[in-house]
Structure 1
Amino acid sequence: MYVSRPQPLIAGNWKMNGVGASLGEAYMIAGGLGDTTARVAICPPATLVQRLAEVLADSAVLVGGQDCHAEEAGAFTGDVSAAQLADAGAALVILGHSERRAGHGETDELVARKVSAALRAGLEPIICVGETLDQRKGGQALAVVTGQVRGSLPAELADKRFSVAYEPVWAIGTGLTPTTPEIEEVHRAIRATLTSMFGAAGSGVAILYGGSVKPSNAAEILHADEVGGALVGGASLKAADFLGIIQAV
């Protein structure tokens, strides 16, 4: 079975940044896309999902959430369900980000439950994996990352659209970036794991790179073997920077 190369995805993660005035940046991003071959998404704080969806309604830019609860509803003060994100206009959701895994104690099992919740709500998951600096120095990077892939991806993803984002924890927000061979090594290991889990369909999953992606290094990263896009943090907050990354596809 032949599976074509997945369409690149460039997703911006605004994290806990942005208020109503920030929507202008998103509007400029939508207006500056040009004829890019990539799918483009912006994942703002939950407070902006509905307003951003309204601003981008007539554009090609997708809107995503940054997390969702594993349950569909209930007494979970401060949490947001996948159904609520979808109702607000989201099409995607980031799950298992290292900042959630480290700061909120999220396990692979919990991430997998959240992925299942996202699928039930019709959201496309972006599932994050990545090793710490100590794990990389200890030669454990591939084992950690492939273990997270196996533990965080439920079986029902087999016939659904989703992506995996490799984010080395030590590169997020630090300005540090793995070498291209290091990125390729991990992405190839992720691809092998996906095809082991899902067969030929695993070849059609976009594997994104995230971790200090910026206009100056985007082209080299995005053209590396098995890199199918990027999950962008700080550089997605400014239209000029984010568009520079998109144009590097």
Structure 2
Amino acid sequence: MNGLKAGLAELEALIAAPVLGGCNLLVCPPATLAAAFAARAAGTHVQVGGQDCHWQPSGAHTGDIAAEMFADLGASHIIVGHSERRTDHGETDAIVKAKAEAVARAGLTPILCIGETLAEREAGEALVLIERQLAGSVPEGLAALVIAYEPVWAIGTGLTPTVAQVAEVHAAIRAVVGPGVKILYGGSVKPSNAAELLAVPHVDGALVGGASLKAADFLGIAAGAA
């Protein structure tokens, strides 16, 4: 829930920056900015997505946004199951699965988030929780899918898992989803640690939170992937 119209200047900076070899840039602004961002980014190397959607294509759901609406404005991806949606809005694995199916129905790619809390990590239940979320949230036979591992305890806290911890979880995810699915890491990713995190096996990119609000920081992270 960050960003006003002035944020278009940050998008302009991303568009003006040279394309980093092999690196795909996707920005998921608030719904209020999605149409303006998509219109400006059309035909450039920057893609635009949504932060959440409803699982129905239309209907009496005041305040909600359908995946088809994001498709209509030119989006390519939609985030589903972010830890803040799961925590703040009580979204279950079943709801996340329904939303991922809705994104696919609209012809877009879901970025499906999973991750453990600090209590679950300290109890040694991280991998069990991750596998349970994958089993409950990922639709069967979904061709286009991105998984984002975001340890809840590392989001906005400045805490970052060790390389070994990230490697362990991403290897476990890969064992479940197979070779064709991209797996992103998210949680206190910044320019200073991006290269190290993105070098971990089975880390195919980053889901960036606060550091994406400034184009310079976002591009600094992207440089770690190039």
TM range (shorter): over 0.9
In 2, the alpha carbon distance for the partners of 1:224 and 1:167 equals 15
In 1, the alpha carbon distance for the partners of 2:22 and 2:206 equals 14
Matching of residue 186 in structure 1 with residue 169 in structure 2? yes
Shift of 1:137: 0.3
Matching of residue 31 in structure 1 with residue 7 in structure 2? no
| 1:165 corresponding residue in structure 2 | 148
Instruction: Judge conservation of contact 1:116–1:156 (CA < 8 Å) in 2.
Output: no
Shift of 1:35: 3.3
Where do 1:116-131 residues align within 5 Å? 116-131=101-116
In 2, the alpha carbon distance for the partners of 1:185 and 1:152 equals 20
In 2, the alpha carbon distance for the partners of 1:18 and 1:154 equals 32
| 1:197 corresponding residue in structure 2 | none
Of residues 31-40 and 104-113 in structure 1, the stretch that sits farther from structure 2 once superposed is: 31-40
Length, aligned pairs only: 225
Structure 2 regions of 5+ residues with no counterpart? none
Structure 1 regions of 5+ residues with no counterpart? 1-15, 195-201
RMSD (CA atoms) = 0.8
Shift of 1:193: 1.1
Shift of 1:55: 1.2
Deviations 1:137-156 (A, max 9, x none): 00000000111011100113
What letter corresponds to residue 122 of structure 1 in structure 2? G
In 2, the alpha carbon distance for the partners of 1:81 and 1:100 equals 16
In 1, the alpha carbon distance for the partners of 2:39 and 2:72 equals 12
Structure 1 stretches of at least 4 aligned residues deviating more than 4 Å after TM superposition = none
Instruction: Judge conservation of contact 1:64–1:90 (CA < 8 Å) in 2.
Output: yes
Task: Give the TM-score normalised by structure 2.
Answer: 0.98
Task: Give the TM-score normalised by structure 1.
Answer: 0.89
Shift of 1:135: 0.2
Matching of residue 208 in structure 1 with residue 191 in structure 2? no
In 2, the alpha carbon distance for the partners of 1:151 and 1:145 equals 10
In 2, the alpha carbon distance for the partners of 1:56 and 1:180 equals 34
Greater relative contact order structure (CA < 8 Å, 6+ sep): 1
Matching of residue 100 in structure 1 with residue 85 in structure 2? yes
Where do 1:44-83 residues align within 5 Å? 44-83=29-68
| 1:226 corresponding residue in structure 2 | 202
